[in-house]
Amino acid sequence: MKKDLLTLADLDAADMDLLLSRARQLKKRHKKGIQDWSLIGKTVGLIFEKASTRTRISFQAAAAQLGGTSLFISSADTQLARNEPVADTARVLERYLDALVLRTYSQDIQTEFARVASIPVINALTDLYHPCQVLSDLLTVLEYKGRFQGLKVAWIGDGNNMAHSWINAAAALGFELVLACPQNYMPDSSVIHGAGDKRFIRVVHDPAEAASGADVINTDVWASMGQEDQAEARQSVFEPFQVNSGIMDRAKKDAIVMHCLPAHKGEEITEEVFEGPQSVVWDQAENKLHMHKAILETLINR
């Protein structure tokens, strides 16, 4: 594996398999009360420009449960906020830390940190990608469906950071991914063009077409962090893209419904579907802990 985890485009199927099987193993051991100590003496720094509940806390809990330490720093409290160059910050932080977990608006900042710092840099969300979330979501899919090959995954809603990381995952693992997005909210074409094997990836504008016969129905908020000023304008455009009982009727009977959270119930997903028997959202949230352990351990101890 590469030193950094900035995008799933950098991981091949073997890398993903490695992380998935280690996360499964760590989850099993955690459930049995077996302690793992793979991060003793290691310090993980988290610098976040955007809000976070799950990603921040699961990375910090992951480091603690493996015997390591973590430090959370809001980027506003660092000298980055006063224009200290990223390259200078990176050259300082690599002397204190064993890994850096970043949540930033721009992907380029993370690429620059990764270029300069000798320690692993891990993308905890940018405007462009959310790779760690999709890795833990893949773990949830594997738990419920037992495989990736032959699955149909539907993405219904915005062609956003989550959609981009799902595109990368489908290209690497070879499952069918059909994204139903409004005309002006499709995934970035450069992400699709950059995806290795595009045979299984399709973008459509009809949510029923994406949901038809799907094993997995996936959605996310209509306005992501940083798009708050567009929220009102997006409402009417996205209304036909709501995951509701009509959409679920199109999917396979045993389809699972996924949402990375936080959810806006009544908007991208109805309360009924969100709280219904096909929803696996709490397992998704839990699996972030186990996957983040696997990511930290693999990258720090490589």
Task: Return the ∠ at Cα 169 (arms to 166 and 173), rounded to 5°.
Answer: 140
Per CB under 6 A, which region of 35-43, 96-104, 157-165, 170-178 contacts ligand NVA?
A: 157-165
CA distances for 74 relative to 94, 184, 216, angstroms? 18, 33, 35
Selection from ligand CP, ligand NVA, none that 53 binds (CB < 5 to 8 A by kind) is: ligand CP
The site map against ligand CP for 181-220 (x = CB under 6 A) is ----------------------------------------
Asked if 54 touches ligand CP (CB under 6 A), the answer is yes
The torsion defined by the Cα of 21, 11, 58 and 258, in degrees rounded to 10, comes to -80
Minimum CB distance to ligand CP smaller for 60 or for 133 = 133
The torsion defined by the Cα of 77, 50, 184 and 235, in degrees rounded to 10, comes to -120
- Total residues belonging to the chain: 302
121 forms beta bridges with 100
Residue 280 Cβ vs ligand CP, minimum distance, rounded to whole Å: 14
Selection from ligand NVA, ligand CP, none that 162 binds (CB < 5 to 8 A by kind) is: ligand NVA
- Side chain identity, residue 22: R
Asked if 224 touches ligand NVA (CB under 6 A), the answer is yes
Asked if 268 touches ligand NVA (CB under 6 A), the answer is no
* Coil, strand or helix at 203: strand
Selection from ligand NVA, ligand CP, none that 189 binds (CB < 5 to 8 A by kind) is: none
Residue 110 CB coordination number (10 Å): 26
Q: What is the DSSP string of 111-126?
A: HHHHHH-SS-EEES--
Binder among 162, 173, 203, 258 for ligand NVA (CB under 6 A): 162
Distance CA 126, CA 104 (A): 5
Minimum CB distance to ligand NVA smaller for 89 or for 136 = 136
Asked if 260 touches ligand CP (CB under 6 A), the answer is yes
Q: Which residues bind ligand NVA (CB under 6 A)?
A: 125, 160-162, 220-221, 224-225, 260
Annotated binding site: 52-55, 79, 103, 130-133, 161, 220, 224-225, 260-261, 288
